[in-house]
Chains A and B, each alone.
Chain A
Amino acid sequence: MKTSPFRIFFNTGAWAVLAFLLLPLLVVIPISLTDTSYIGLPKEHLSLQHYENYFSSAEWLGATWTSIWIGVAVAIAATVLGTAFSIGCWLISSRASTIARWVLIVPILVPPVVQSLGFYRFWVKLDLIDTYFGVILAHTLLALPYVSISVFTALANLDRRITQAARSLGASVWQTVISVIIPAIRPGMLTGGIFAFIVSFDEIVGVLFLTVRTVNTLPKQIWEGIQESIDPTIAAVATFLVVLSLIATAAVSLRKKTA
């Protein structure tokens, strides 16, 4: 079979687009292995010195851990609040609850700078500037729409009569939520939690507005690293994050296959 010129054109085009998307991401890998002390491709040989620097720098490691534990706290808080909100709306299922759902999703549409400015003005009044709690609170609010969308999608697939069935069989509303609804929407909650973690983990605008010296997250550290110096450690950190993401994605898809 002869391949038509059109097909060759579209195939080449598709690969070119893919390369355009991926290559800037992958270029951090050779840079992270550079033997120079500035950002650039390796000159004479490959070197792991910048990885060594990352894993031995208290500043970098501290920022990484801060981002991770803030992310986990945000994931837990946003999943609990978002799930409670969604189940409540689903059970009530009135016009008011539909409006409430839309209102909760609106913050996605607001530009991050505007939102951060809003946070900043409020957080100053509440005395939350440069506190861990302040960052976690702001990130939880940013992550809530994603959790509620994900949980609501799971609820939409659930037969409403399941609630009626549980109650006719003697379960109170609370027992129905705990023993019937939550187990059925657990995949949606998990997805929402992962989303919330990611939202928090790479959030930079809010952190720049809300923190000074005490709270230092990884995105902020990278940002300041680029501003102050041209240290290739940033490329090592970036590569490390890419590899971590790949492992996480592979783990999730493997789990789905076996499930």
Chain B
Amino acid sequence: MSNPILSIRNSVKRYGPVHALDHVDLDVAEGEFLTLLGPSGSGKTTLLTAIAGFTDLSEGSVSLRGRDITNEPPEHRDFGMVFQGYALFPTMTVRQNVGFPLKIRKRPASEIRARVDECLELVQMGAYADRMPSQLSGGQQQRIALARALSFKPQVLLLDEPLSALDKKLRADLQWELKALHDQLGVTFIYVTHDQDEALSMSDRIVILKDGKIQQSGIPDTLYNKPRTRFVADFLGKSNFLSVKVKSREGDHLECVAGEAAFPVDATGHSGTVGNSAEIALRPERIRLTEPGKEFLTGTVKQVSYLGERCQVLLTHSVLGQILVSCPTWKSGINPNPGLQLGFGWDADACVILEAE
């Protein structure tokens, strides 16, 4: 990456014998929407608070545009931060909250007033300037917190699970708004979440963490369609995992077998030596369901779950075990019921060979 705005090198954070961060390297590009995604205890929040300056690293460094800021206190870093619990100042009005960073920076009152108005317009809260935080709903409070964190034009905006406390519909609306705000302002966003939908829908790039280590990073499409490990494939969306043996190889095309079932696998970028065993991830929506005999495998419907736009079918296969299939309800053409025999299959590029963890 040429000229990253933020570089984290070899960062380690130990709490006793536990590594919250285990030698993490990360570069953040100017203007990027970067998401740190992982389950609780993965180190994503530790990494964010280390960037913000609230966590002292045991080893390693953080630098901003090439300047080492590892030992700078948070107030000198010039990063805006938005929290899950909003963290608005309860004794100040909305206007005073949003103007707080500017007042600390001793800007003239007229400039503060104009900038606060501008920021409140940005989050569509212009009419609420004189309210107290306690008079606002959760979604409104989070907009104010966002306006406050943006009012002093920070170098980077850090967001720590900002939508987790909100209900599902509001969360979805705010995802669009956050993304639009990012595109409009061009500020670098570093966003922490454990919610894969948020990560996939907003990010330019996702970094997946587990046990204080980066598992994989990339654009959402790559992470979803080409997960490197079982953990990534399982954490981001749903996957079926198949243990197979490589029977033959022709260029990037493998022929794999599991019991008497044989099927093609696309092995672009993978070694896949003939005779070795491999683990394969297969997305439920990439599996086609047909009448028995029309595809290369046959299974029995065990359970069906109707989700409105989609329908999830759990098949059992004599060798592969349980296979989860997800098909759009509007075009499936078949009506799966428990006990029904169905044919199923997939394209070679639907399979992803996983690295051993």
Whether A175 contacts B104 by the Cβ 8 Å rule is: yes
The verdict on A167 contacting chain B, using a C-beta distance below 8 Å, is yes
Which one of A168, A183, A186 has the highest number of Cβ atoms from chain B below 10 Å of its Cβ?
A: A168
CA distance A166 to B85 in the complex (A): 14
Give the CA-CA distance A170 to B75 in the complex, in Å: 4
Interface of chain A, helix or strand or loop or mixed?
helix
> Residues of B within 8 Å of A, CB-based: how many?
28
Q: Does B73 touch A at the CB level, under 8 Å?
A: yes
A170 B104 Cβ-Cβ under 8 A: yes
Asked if A169 meets B101 with Cβ closer than 8 Å, knowing A184-B90, A184-B91, the reply is yes
Q: Is the CB of A161 within 8 A of B83?
A: yes
B180 contacts partner chain A, Cβ-Cβ < 8 Å? no
Contacts of B158 in A (CB 8 A): 168
A180 within 8 A of B: yes
Shortest C-beta distance, B89 to chain A (Å), equals 5
Contact call B87/A161, Cβ cutoff below 8 A: yes
Q: Are A171 and B75 in contact (CB under 8 A)?
A: yes
Q: Which residues of B contact A172 (CB under 8 A)?
A: 73, 75
Q: Is the CB of A164 within 8 A of B81?
A: yes
| Min C-beta distance of B7 to chain A, whole Å | 20
In the complex, B343 has a CB within 8 A of chain A: no
Interface size class of A (residues with CB under 8 A): 10 to 19
B88 CB contacts on chain A under 8 angstroms:
162, 165
Q: When chains A and B are docked, how far (Å) is the Cα of A168 from the Cα of B83?
A: 11
Inter-chain CA distance A186–B92, complex, in Å, is 13
A170 to B145, CA, bound (A): 15
User: Is B83 a contact of A183 with CB atoms below 8 Å?
Assistant: no
Contact in complex: A165, B152 (CB < 8 Å): no
**Chain A contacts with B in 137-159, Cβ cutoff 8 A:** 158-159
Of B73, B90, B152, which contacts A169 at CB under 8 A? B152
Q: In the complex, are the beta carbons of A164 and B87 less than 8 A apart?
A: yes
What's the nearest-Cβ distance from chain A to residue B266, in Å? 46
CB-CB contacts of A16-55 with B at 8 A, as 1s and 0s? 0000000000000000000000000000000000000000
User: Which A residues contact B (CB, under 8 angstroms)?
Assistant: 158-159, 161-162, 164-172, 175, 179-180, 183-184, 186
B residues adjacent to A (C-beta < 8 A):
52-54, 73-75, 77-81, 83, 85, 87-92, 100-101, 104-105, 145, 148-149, 152, 158
Additional A-B contacts beyond A168-B74, A183-B91 (11; CB < 8 A) = A162-B87, A164-B52, A165-B88, A167-B53, A167-B75, A168-B52, A168-B149, A169-B148, A170-B152, A172-B75, A179-B100
Interface pairs (11), CB distance under 8 Å: A159-B85, A164-B54, A164-B74, A166-B89, A166-B100, A167-B53, A167-B74, A168-B79, A169-B148, A171-B75, A183-B91
